[in-house]
Amino acid sequence: MISVEEALAKVLSYVHILETEEKYVLDCLGQVLAEDIYSALDIPPADNTAMDGYAVRAEDTRGSSEKSPRFLRVVGTVPAGYITEHEVELGTAIRIMTGAVIPQGADSIVRFEDTDEEQRQGSVSEIGILKEVKPGADIRRAGEDITRGSLVLSKGTVIRPSEAGILASLGRNKVKVIRRPVVAILATGDELVDITQPLLPGKIYNSNTYSVAALVKRYGGIPQILGIAQDNESSLVTKLRQGLDADLFITTGGVSMGDYDMIKDVLATEGEIAFWTVRMKPGKPLAFGTLKTVDERGNPRSIPQLGLPGNPVSSMVTFELFARPAILKMMGKRNLEKPTIEAVVEDRVVNTDGRRVFARAMVEKRRGKYFARLTGPQGSGILTSMSLANGLVIVPEDKPSVEAGEKVKVIMLDWNEE
Ligand code: AMP
Ligand code: MG
């Protein structure tokens, strides 16, 4: 049986960064930029005001205070989006709104609250300045965010909301990114019924397809749902062949020791097995290999296939540990690891047979420290234990147990922002 690290290294050695595509920015959130983005513009394009107020010459405000205001003649008003033809000369001011370009002649802004505007009615032809300002006060300089010609976003950057905003501020609506992987998902089991069908005696609904497809989406892939294969070779082979255009093939179930666990046999005939069984709990019967096919030119091609165990918790945990990094690698991401923290475990966790245990836990921060509490019974069929959890407490393979109060490592599945 290989270790989690060996299994992950093997999986990653079979997946490669995908090709690039050009897409609308809002369609590539979470994708990796495949081009360097240089700016053809200064951002902001011109000096403009950071505040609503009056554009003035700083020397005109010298010595002014609430007790002895200096009075300036108002020669115009300029809202954001317009350029005034008026100039600020000594003794004059222009009323100006946030974002408007600084008028000729002005070198600073006096905010509304530092003038006597509130006491004046109607349109203002003269304004009292209640405070001295320095040259440059409340002026945002052209190019202070981005200078023309500079490298703004480099290849390899992940597109997040702030990158979407930056690209828009440069006038870009499409960018080149590494494409999302298509992940074929096939559930196996004679007991499974699709959620659109009535549930007959002896049957259960196929839930793995949905948890796995949701994980694929969460991490940026495109799920290709192939439905359910029966536990016989011909049904499996037929269904497998429907997903051979995918970048990664995920099956669930059929990898244990049971009479009808056929995935390994089918993998062996339709491709090659790279490993079977990993020293972990849940998830031991994980199988990995490649399926052989041909590409559109008729050249042989093989696609990586992860045979996740059928138990709903096992399939999700093995997905997080192996399928997620594979998807992220294909997308060109460099950080393939989930955040891991150290926490004080509040329950005893036992490790009966020398495998690495991933126990479902809820992590909470109290008085600046993380505490991890198990989310009830840990059977690998108890999917609610995942739903209640935000992390996986790790018990190393060489430790027979961790006791309440001990420090443990926890892989954070999410920070429960929702
Ligand atoms: P297997 O790995 O095929 O032996 O399945 C292990 C356990 O997981 C069995 O109790 C199955 O009924 C259950 N199981 C397998 N596939 C699914 C699925 N797609 N949805 C829900 N439960 C499943
Ligand atoms: Mg089965």
Ligand 1, atom 3, residue with closest C-alpha: 253
What does the pLDDT average to over 28-46? 97
Atom of ligand 1 nearest to the CA of 207: 20
If you average pLDDT over every residue of the chain, what do you get?
97
Using a 6 Å cutoff on CB, does residue 325 contact ligand 1? Answer: no
pLDDT at 160 over 70: yes
Q: Is 189 in the pocket of ligand 1 (CB under 6 A)?
A: yes
- Rounded to the nearest angstrom, the gap between the alpha carbon of residue 414 and the centroid of all alpha carbons in its chain is 11
| Letter string b/e over residues 261-297, b meaning 16 or more CB atoms within 10 A of that residue's CB | bbbbebbeebbebbebbbbbbbbbbbbbbbbebeeee
Which residue from 397, 401, 378, 402 is spatially nearest to 388, judged by alpha carbons? 378
Does the C-beta of 230 come closer than 6 Å to ligand 1?
no
- Report the residue among 186, 211, 252 best suited for mutation to probe ligand 1: largest number of ligand atoms under 8 A from its CB: 252
The pTM (predicted TM-score) of the whole model is 0.95
pLDDT in tens, 383-400: 999 999 999 999 999 999
| Cα(362) to centroid(ligand 1), Å | 25
Find out whether the beta carbon of 31 lies less than 6 Å from any atom of ligand 1.
no
Q: Kindly give the distance from the C-alpha atom of residue 231 to the centroid of ligand 2, in angstroms, as a whole number.
A: 7
Give percent above pLDDT 70 in the chain.
99
Dihedral angle over CA of 317, 320, 322, 326, nearest 10: 160
252 CA: nearest ligand 1 atom: 16
Residue 314 CB–ligand 1 contact under 6 Å: no
Ion ligand 2 residue ranges (Cβ < 5 Å): 189, 253-254, 310
282 close to ligand 1 (CB < 6 Angstrom) = no
Distances (CA, A) of 192 to 197, 289, 387: 10, 24, 21
Probe target for ligand 1 pocket from 311, 315, 380, 386, with the most ligand atoms within 8 Å of CB: 311
pLDDT at 69: 97
pLDDT value for 33: 98
| pLDDT tens digit sequence for 314-349 | 999 999 999 999 999 999 999 999 999 999 999 999
Q: Ligand 2 centre from 292 Cα, in Å?
A: 23
Please say if the pLDDT value at position 180 is more than 70: yes
Residue 416 predicted with pLDDT over 80? no
